[in-house]
Structure formats: C-alpha cells, structure tokens
Amino acid sequence: MENKIALIFDTNFIIEHSKDLNSVVEKLSKSYEVFVTQLSIDERISQQYLDLRANYDKIEKLATEIKPFAKVDVLVEFDKCFESRKKGIQNNYDTLFSGKIIPFSKSQETFSEIIDRVNKKMPPFIKGASDKGFKDTILWLSLMDYFSKNSETESVLFVSNDHGFTENADTLKKEFNSKTSLTIEIENNDFLNKLVQEKKEVELKSNVMDDLKLEELNELRHEIQRIMSRICTGSSYDPYEDGYRSFPLFKTTSYLEINQIEDMLNNLHNILFRDLFATQFVFSTLFLNLHIFKEEYYIPREDIESLNNLHDKIKSNYKQVLPQFYKVVTELINRNFDSSGFPEDIPF
C-alpha cells in the first residue's frame, strides 16, 4: 500500500460528485488510499432500481390507458433490465476502486449486534430517533471489522455529512481505536471538497470576479439561502413552547443528485405554466416520477416562482457561477434527507 492513510467517503459525497467521481478519486489517490463501502454501492444500485421501477410503472399505466386502441410492447423486461444495470454499476465501482471495496456482513451475529446498538442507542444512532442510524451502524461495523484485519494502514479518514457520525466523532474515534488499534478522523464533506477543488485563481479572477462584484455575490448568497429556506422549511406557533417551531416541508428517502436538480430547475417554467392557477405546490410535483418524497406540506406558489426567477437571473446574468448554484441548491435540499426508514431501508 503506497499511501498509508485510508480514505473512505459516504454515499452523500458520491452523490455530490456523481458527474466527476473518477477524476475526484484520481486526485485523492495521490495522497490517500481511497476506499468505498459496498453499502454505498448498494445504495446507488437501490436508487437506480427505484428510478427504473418508476419508468416501468409509467409504461404499465400508459399501456392500460391506451389498451382500447393501441398496444405497448416492452422490449426488455424489468428484471432483466435492472440486473443489467446492477451489474454495470458494480463493475464500474470494481474498476474504479480495484481491491478497495469494504464489504459488510449479513450474518446473524452482525444483525444481533446492530439490534443491540439500536436498543442502547449507541452511536452512530441518533438519540431521540427510534431507528435513525441503522445504515450508519452497518457502515460503522463494516469499517471496524475491515480495518481490524488490515495491517498496512497507519490511520483512517472517514468523510460523511451524516449527523450520527459528525455529532458523535469523539466517542466513535475511541471505539474505532479500541477495536482496530488505528486512529480515525471523522470529517464532513466540506473537508474533501476543499482538497478536490481546482486552484485556478487567475482563471477564477478573470472569468468570475471581473464580471461579478463582491456585493453582487453576497446578494446572490443571501437570496439563495432565503428562497431555499422558505421552500425547505416551514414554521408554526407552538403554544406549549410559547414560540415558533420549524419543521421540514418535505423529507426525502434518498439523496438527490445535482443533475436531478438541474433538470428540475430547467423544467420549472413548464411546471408553473402547466399548473397556472395553482396557488401552492408540494415539492415532489416539481420532479418527474421521483418517488423519494414523504411527509410533504404545501409550499406557496410565490416561493416556487422566486426560485424560478432566481434561476433565470443566474442563467442570464451570472452564467459563470451556474454550476455552483446547482451544487448549493442540491446541498440545501439534501438537508431534508431522512434515513429513518427502518426496516424498509435495510439493504438485505
């Protein structure tokens, strides 16, 4: 092992860099031995399953509607199509992370240990949430098991935005050291993003800062935060606490990818025109056949229009920062991700 520091990132980082993962891994490999967990791969496969299933459901619905006068022929059955995609995804990760995929155990012993940690609310489970942290616990146990058997690594760096890890870092680091004799650092995604960003200061200055004044940039930052806060978070008066409480206006069962947000924003004009007289929306209606939303509340039309207008403004006047806009909107929406779907979310 050329580099002695093992680096593992969670699924949310993979999603954030879905378009440039190969180049990101190549860059990080200059300083670390980069690993991925099979659990993260299976989560990506699961998302493909849900997307593909939604498309086939749409075909079945259409076939039923036009049955009196037309026929739909399915050229490839769902199971065969999914197995082909599943194999392709796994092969891609096998190639990119050759020999550096961390497995997870499906044994009864492992399952019993997970349930024991559930009952004791041991990190990375989150206190106060009955089952929030099931996947994180599977991942954590797989890391400790793998590196307890790996003598070539000097230390480990684990990157995740999940609160179960970041809010319990000290406790988890002690446990990891006791089980593996190795030190582990737990950082959030911003730590890695700083490492993989291209340092093109001259180009940045000529392409962005010359055309975008600091005052304009700050105004855009605040406008993005203000609009996305209204879209993602609601508030209501709580007489028991004598004050207002905030709550998510929707929750997601999977992380959204940047390309999905980009497609949604580019189609927002059509959505608003289609529902011209709608005064409010639930967030899922802005996406086509994306069944990952739950516990939705209505969002005023004015807030959706504000997002659409902001997108138009950036496309017209600040096109050079459009990729950063898509990125921050994706990150803000993904804060509403809720992993408390146990036991449905168990990947085996």
The pLDDT assigned to 155 comes to 92
**Residue-wise pLDDT tens digits, 15-34:** 878 778 888 898 899 889 99
Give the CB-side neighbour count of residue 244, counting CA atoms within 13 A. Answer: 6
In sequence order, the β-bridge partners of residue 346 are: none
Q: Out of 85-94, 184-193, 198-207, 234-243, which region has the weakest mean confidence (pLDDT)?
A: 198-207
Q: How far are the Cα atoms of 4, 8, 231, 259, 296 from residue 33, in angstroms, in the given order?
A: 7, 9, 39, 28, 41
Evaluate if residue 97 carries a pLDDT over 80: yes
**Residue-wise pLDDT tens digits, 277-299:** 999 999 999 998 788 899 999 99
Evaluate if residue 250 carries a pLDDT over 70: yes
Rounding to the nearest 10 degrees, give the CA dihedral for residues 301, 304, 305, 308: -160
**Residue-wise pLDDT tens digits, 194-235:** 777 654 343 444 455 456 788 888 899 999 999 999 999 998
pTM of the prediction? 0.60
Angle between helices 301-317 and 258-266 (to 10 degrees): 100
Query: What does DSSP say about strands 299-300 and 280-281: parallel, antiparallel, or unpaired?
Result: antiparallel
Binning pLDDT at 50, 70 and 90, where does residue 172 land? Answer: very high
